[in-house]
Structure formats: C-alpha cells, structure tokens
Amino acid sequence: MNHMDYLLRPATLDDLDVIEKFSRAATFSIRTLKPDRARLAARVERSLKAFAGSEPLNGDEIYHFVLEDLRAGRVVGTSGIVASAASNGRFYCYRNEFLVHGSEELGITNREHTLRLCEDLSGHTLLSSFYIEPEYSDTLAPQLLSRGRLLFIRNYPHLFAERIGAENPGLCDDEGNSPVWDALGHRFFKMPFPEAEQRTGGRSKSYIAELMPRNPVYVSLLTKDAQWAMGQLHPDGELPFGILVAEGFDVDSYVDIFDGGPIAEARVAMLRSVVSAQDVALRSAPGEAGEACLVANLERAGFRATLANGVFLEEGLQLPDSTITFLGLMDGASACAVRLD
C-alpha cells in the first residue's frame, strides 16, 4: 500500500453512502456522526457552504473531509472541523482540579481529585468525526486524515478560534454503558447514557447546567469503576488520540461530562504541524526521491492535501508531477508543507 496515494478533500454529496457506512461501523463511543442519512446529508451540505464561503460567518460552520485511496479508487476515512464549539450556546465539560484538605492536629493531609463543571472550551474550534477503515491504521493515512485539517486551519486562521479542542471517547461497553455516566450523570439526568448523549449532542444544551451539580464533584466518592474510568480513553480512540498528543495537545485538564473521556486542548499556533509548516513554491521532480511530507494547496473550496516524497529546497519543494496534479496545481504554484519526521 503506497502511502503516497492518498488524498484529503472536502466531502461532497457523492460521498454520502460511504459516510453513512462509516457512521454505522464506528463504535458507539466514537459515533460523532449519527447514522441518519438525512442528518448526514444536511451536514455535508453545511460543509460545502462553509468551504465555498457563500454565507457570512456566524461560528456554526462545519468543515467535513474525506480521505481517498486513489489507487483503490475509494474513500477510506472521514474527519471534520467544527468552527466554534457551541456557537449557539455554551460548551460544558469537567475541569480536573485538585484540592488539599489537611488537619495539623491529626497530622493528616489529603489531596483530592475533583471535577468542576465549566464552560472553558466554549468558542474553541473542535476537531471531530475521525474515522478510518481499520486496515489503514498502520499506514500514514491517519496522519493525513487528522493533520491535514490543521493545515487547512493554518491557511485560513480567520475562520477558526485561536484555541482548539477535541473530544475523545471514554470507556463504555458495546451497549453504551459507561461507568462514569452510571456513577455521576445518571443520578441527575435519570436516563441511560446513549439517550442522554443523543439528546445533548454538542454539549451546549442549557439543561446540562440546570441538572448537573455546580459544586466540585469529589472523584473519591464515586464508584471504584468510575474512579478507574475517569479520564481513560476507549481503545478505539487510541489512534487519533496519539496523533493529537504528538501535535502537542494538553490531554490532562478536561474530561467529557458524559463518559469521562479525555478532552484534548491547545493553542492552534503552538501545534507541531502549524509551527513546522512552511509556504513553498512547487517544483516538478523527475522521481519519487526525498523525504516524506504532508502537502496542501492554499485553496478553500478546492482544498486538497496529500502525502508525498519531496525534496525541500531554498526556493521551494520538489514533488513528482502526479502529486502536484493531485493537489489541483501546476508547476510553480504555491502550497504549504510539513515534514513527517
């Protein structure tokens, strides 16, 4: 499987069948795409309008991508960007805090892990909807599927917030039973986790704040299963989570209000791909020699990103003609690139 045969591009309605298939294949805990064709179609249409820039910015833009295996001639993954978390409300999560209680008389000091309901991530840009077919997990395709989005954000900073987050799935079983939800959320919502997650998708509903305690929650008072699961990652989320960690996201400060999964957070300007990316002029190269890199054009509606073997020069980047064509560009065109080291 040649890792230079992948292309990241905006999703179109022609991709609806495969996006729907991905939504059904994804584990319950990472199903940010609900398997509802009408809703998926509406999401893709919203995305196309956002890429086109055909409407005034209001913060609720969604940018939905698909990853093609060009050699196989099919779409093998999908990912997205939400311009602003809870653009029409507040985005709720728990902030990890620690309180120290001590008695000098008894000689006892306790450091207690607490959770505080917060709105810190309201207005952050969110990475979302990552899914890739399992047989591609050990290739470089996931790097393109995840990091290609960051190059788009880097090229169009005015469309996004200065800070960025990404929800990651917490522990739950195949039926959607979550130890954290059972010990905490269920006490206040009085409904199973899958139903609560469905009804409060986006974490912006006001009744989260109305029902959940505003005082700090002491983790040590929860069940042992919930204590162990707090901040733990669902195994199916390990691949995208690892990419975020390598980018420099902080994954220790916030957890999901429902399943306790870790929420990654960072300043966009500090992310590895954004810091390392450079604007280049493309130069046609005769062969496939060079170092592995991720390359993206500078277009919005016509965004394209791919993997390539390129030779970095002072005056630009040498790429095979086929790669330049993948990007919808010609010899001498401007692009941005980042090494995959």
Active site residues: 234
Alpha helices in the chain (DSSP H): 16-25, 37-52, 141-155, 179-180, 186-189, 193-199, 206-211, 224-229, 238-247, 272-276, 321-326
- What distance in Å separates the CA atoms of residue 91 and residue 95, rounded to the nearest whole number? 12
Give the pair of three-digit tokens for residue 69: 């295996």
Give the pair of three-digit tokens for residue 71: 């050699």
Amino acid at site 44: V
Task: Calculate ∠ Cα 24-133-341, nearest 5°.
Answer: 140
Tell how strand 262-267 and strand 163-167 pair up: antiparallel
Residues 6+ apart with CB under 8 A from 177: 192, 193
Burial 189-226 (b: 16+ CB within 10 A, else e): beebbbebbeebeebbbeebeeebeeebbebeebeeeb
